[in-house]
C-alpha cells in the first residue's frame, strides 16, 4: 500500500510504473499486480499492490470487488482537494480490509480541527466495524510537537500572523530542533509532547487505534535537499531553520482492528534518503493473522509526502 500527499492525479501512471519497476529490480518482478490506483478527485491518491498469488486466489474464489470511498473537506466554503481521505475496501481471507490515505489540517495550533477531521473520516468509514476487520490509515496527519507547558503555551508564526513569533517561540523552537537534529527527539519528547499520541491517550482522536513503537525522529519540517547544490552527508538530520515551524511526527501509520484479527508490526521507520521535500516518508510491515482461519498475510504501508 502506498499513500501519497499533494500529488496531482495525472502523475499516477508514471508513479505506478516506477513502483512496479522498483519492485522488479528488487527481485519481485511479476509477483505484484495493481489492485487499486485511485485519486478520487483529490491530491492524496492511494495505490494498492497485491501479490499475484493473492490475485489468483481471489479469482479462484470468485473474486472480491474493491469499494472506493473519498472524503474531501471545505474551508471558507471552498473545497480543498489536498485535504481529506481516500480509501479502498475489500475482502481477503475472511477479513474485511480497509486501507485509507488521509491528509489532515495543517498548522501547529489546529489541533481541534485535526481531531474533527479525523472524526469525520472515521464516521465515513463507520461500516468498517464488521468482525473480523482491519482499518489501516496512513498519511500526513500533521500532528506536531507541543510546547513545554502544553497546548497553547506557544504560538507558531504564520504567513498571516508573523507577529506570533516571539522570544518564547524562538527559544522553544531552538530547543526542540536541536534535540531533533541530535537524534534525541524520540527519546526525550515522545510520547509526552506528541500531539497525536496525547490525543490517542486522552481518547479525543483515533480512539481504539494502535501504532507500532515510534523510534524514528520527527518527519517534519525537514530540509529539502537539492543534490545539485548540496553535498549531503549520509545520516545528517537537518531541519528547516529558515521557514520556522515546530517539528512533528506528522507522517504516521495507524490501525484499528475488530474481532479476532491479530496484527504484528515491524520495520516502522522513516526513509531518511527520501529528502526531496520537507517531510520524510515512513513505512511499516504489518503481519495480519486470523487464528480461527489459520491464515496469515503481510501488508507493507508507506506514506511519502
The residue written with cell numbers 522488479 in the block is: 24
Question: Does 161 have pLDDT greater than 80?
Answer: no
C-alpha cell at 258: 475488530
What pLDDT score was predicted for residue 234? 54
Q: Please give the order of strands across the beta sheet that includes 95-103.
A: 67-75, 78-92, 95-103, 133-140, 251-258
Asked if the structure places residue 167 within a domain, the reply is no
C-alpha cell at 226: 537539492
Answer yes or no: is 207 within a domain: yes
Contact 265, 288 (CB under 8 A): no
Q: Output DSSP code: residue 210.
A: B
* φ/ψ bin of 67: left (φ > 0), alpha (ψ from -120 to 50), beta (otherwise): beta
The residue that leads in pLDDT, 301 or 52, is 52
* H or E element, residue 199: helix 195-202
**Positive or negative, the Cα torsion across 209, 46, 264, 105?**
negative
Cβ of 197: how many Cβ atoms within 10 Å? 18
Average pLDDT score over residue span 129-141:
86
**pLDDT score of 290:** 85
Assigned domain for 107 exists:
yes
Q: How many CA atoms lie within 13 A of 207 on its CB side?
A: 9
Confidence of residue 73 (pLDDT cuts 50, 70, 90): confident
Number of domains in the chain: 1
In a domain, 179, yes or no: no
pTM of the model: 0.89
| Residue 93: all three cell numbers together | 481471507
Question: What pLDDT shows up at residue 61?
Answer: 41
- The DSSP output letter for 238 is -
Residue 182: inside a domain, yes or no?
Answer: no
For residue 48, give the C-alpha cell.
Answer: 494498492
CA nearest to 96, candidates 249, 302, 288: 288
- In DSSP notation, 243-280 reads TT---B--EEEEEEEETT-EEEEEEEEE-TT--SSSB-
Residue 295's domain comprises 2-143+196-240+247-302
| Cβ–Cβ < 8 Å for 125, 83 | no
Is position 189 within any domain?
A: no
**Could you write out the three-class secondary structure of 272-300?**
CCCCCCCECCEEEEEEEEECCCCEEEEEE
Collapsing DSSP to helix, strand or coil, 57 comes out as helix
What number is the average pLDDT over the span 209-233? 82
The span from the CA of 221 to the CA of 145, in Å, is 11
Backbone angles phi, psi at 53, to 5 degrees: -60, -35
* In a domain? residue 234: yes
State the Cα–Cα distance between residues 99 and 221, nearest whole angstrom. Answer: 26
Place of cell 492511494: 46
Q: How far is residue 294's CA from residue 222's CA, in Å, rounded to a whole number? A: 43
pLDDT tens per residue, range 226-284: 655 555 555 578 999 998 999 999 999 999 998 889 999 999 999 998 888 999 999 99
**Gap between the Cα atoms of 98 and 59, Å rounded:** 20
Q: pLDDT higher for 270 or 26?
A: 270
| pLDDT on residue 295 | 53
Q: Which of 40, 110, 44, 125 is nearest to 75 (CA)?
A: 110
Longest pairwise C-alpha distance within the chain: 66
Asked if the structure places residue 119 within a domain, the reply is yes
Q: What is the pLDDT of residue 304?
A: 42
pLDDT at 102 over 90: yes
- The CATH number for 218's domain is 3.60.10.10
User: What are the pLDDT digits (tens) for 105-115?
Assistant: 999 999 999 99
Alpha helices by DSSP H, 24-166: 52-60, 111-124
Amino acid at each position: 500500500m502506498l499513500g501519497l500527499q499533494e500529488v496531482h492525479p495525472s502523475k499516477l501512471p508514471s508513479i505506478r510504473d516506477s513502483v512496479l519497476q522498483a519492485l522488479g529490480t528488487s527481485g519481485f518482478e511479476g509477483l505484484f499486480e495493481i489492485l487499486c490506483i485511485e485519486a478520487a478527485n483529490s491530491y492524496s491518491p492511494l495505490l494498492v499492490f497485491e501479490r499475484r498469488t493473492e490475485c489468483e486466489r481471489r479469482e479462484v474464489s470468485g473474486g472480491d470487488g474493491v469499494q472506493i470511498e473519498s472524503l474531501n473537506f471545505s474551508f471558507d466554503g471552498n473545497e480543498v482537494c489536498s485535504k481529506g481521505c481516500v480509501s479502498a475496501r475489500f475482502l481477503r481471507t475472511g477479513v474485511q480490509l480497509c486501507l485509507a490515505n488521509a491528509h489532515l489540517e495543517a498548522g501547529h495550533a489546529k489541533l481541534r480541527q485535526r481531531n474533527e477531521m479525523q472524526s469525520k473520516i472515521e464516521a465515513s468509514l463507520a461500516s468498517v466495524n464488521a468482525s473480523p476487520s482491519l482499518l489501516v490509515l496512513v498519511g500526513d496527519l500533521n500532528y506536531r510537537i507541543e510546547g513545554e507547558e502544553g497546548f497553547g503555551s506557544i504560538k507558531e508564526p504564520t504567513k498571516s500572523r508573523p507577529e506570533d513569533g516571539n522570544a518564547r517561540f524562538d527559544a522553544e523552537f531552538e530547543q526542540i530542533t536541536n534535540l531533533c537534529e541530535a537524534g534525541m527527539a524520540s527519546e526525550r519528547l515522545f510520547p509526552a509532547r506528541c500531539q497525536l499520541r496525547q490525543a490517542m491517550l486522552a481518547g479525543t482522536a483515533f480512539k481504539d487505534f494502535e501504532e507500532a513503537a515510534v523510534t524514528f525522529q520527527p518527519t517534519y519540517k525537514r530540509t529539502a535537499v537539492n543534490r545539485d547544490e548540496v553535498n549531503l552527508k549520509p545520516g545528517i538530520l537537518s531541519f528547516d531553520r529558515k521557514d520556522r515551524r515546530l517539528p512533528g511526527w506528522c507522517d504516521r501509520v495507524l490501525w484499528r482492528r475488530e474481532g479476532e484479527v491479530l496484527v504484528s508490526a515491524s520495520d516502522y521507520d522513516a526513509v531518511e534518503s527520501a529528502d526531496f521535500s520537507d517531510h520524510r516518508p515512513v513505512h511499516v510491515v504489518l503481519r495480519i493473522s486470523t487464528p480461527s482461519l489459520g491464515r496469515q498475510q503481510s501488508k507493507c504501508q508507506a506514506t511519502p509526502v
